[in-house]
Amino acid sequence: MEKIFDLRGGKLVVGGRTLVMGIVNVTPDSFSDGGEFFTTEAAINRATEIIADGADIIDIGAESTRPDAVPITAAEEIARLEKILPAVAKLGVPISIDTYKPEVAARALEVGADIINDVHGLEDLRMIDVAKNFGAPVIACHFEPCNTFDIIGDVQKFFRRTAANCSSRGFDTTQIIFDPGIGFGKTRDDDLTILRRLHELKFLDGREIFLALGVSRKRIIGHLTGQAVTERDEATGALCVHAALSGVDIVRVHNVRMVSRMIRTIDSLTEEE
């Protein structure tokens, strides 16, 4: 399945080769790179760098989503984004805005973003309305704790509910890219099960869906390897290759250069001659 999204930042083909989403955290407190790209100049330089490294999408977030992060207001989040987004938009690569607040998403789409990346999975139904009004694709992330012994079933149930909510509000469900939410409300075993069974999530009720995966430098890698956050890029790359081979359409990463090269190599081996 392949879809061409017409975005302000250019056309984006999802469902062909695996896309690499590069992370730009405009925060002082993100778990991996908090504070590194907090200024406008640093964020623009970072975006320019990862585009050169092969990023297909730039994911910009202004509020940390690590478990112990201190929430900020929508006004604070918008203030961090308003100068950065228009400048990065000029670089010509699609931008996703990493936020769970509808008012932040709306302002971000007005000033340069193209895609909504909602780590609260469109729980706030107003986010669906924002996406519909702007004609923007959405990445809907599963974030709920598993209440059964079947994390795959729980994630699929969430995907199904999200699609139904979007449909009921008149939003085209083919504009949804689903993320199983590694590290969000999950145990180590939940994360491992999802990673091992990613291929099962590629289809929902017999219909192929678009999948994104954010696993870069996350805690599950520390559990698997014993490595500190700054030493987790190789393991991230390995999981991204596994994701690509399992049907994931977009991988979200910090080390774009390394992962992009790995993904391009794998994709070249699986292309039809």
Q: Is 101 a catalytic residue?
A: no
Alpha helix (H) residue ranges in 169-255: 188-196, 198-201, 219-225, 233-245
Strands (E), the chain: 3-7, 10-14, 19-25, 57-61, 95-98, 115-118, 138-141, 176-179, 203-204, 207-208, 210-214, 250-253
Q: Are 125 and 96 in contact (CB under 8 A)?
A: no
Q: Are 138 and 115 in contact (CB under 8 A)?
A: yes
State the CB neighbour count (10 A cutoff) for residue 70. 7
Q: What would the two tokens of residue 150 be?
A: 């079947």
CA-wise closest residue to 214 among 13, 1, 3, 21: 21
Phi, psi of 25 (to 5 degrees): -95, 110
Q: What would the two tokens of residue 142 be?
A: 């599963």
One of 17, 80, 186, 252 is an active-site residue; which one? Answer: 252
Question: Residue for token digits 């623009």?
Answer: 44
CA-CA distance, 80 to 76, in Å (whole number)? Answer: 6
CA-CA distance, 119 to 139, in Å (whole number)? Answer: 8
Task: Compute the Cα dihedral for 178, 172, 150, 31 and give only its sign.
Answer: positive
Q: Is 207 a catalytic residue?
A: no
One of 101, 217, 218, 219 is an active-site residue; which one? Answer: 218
State the CB neighbour count (10 A cutoff) for residue 83. 16
Question: Catalytic residue numbers?
Answer: 218, 252
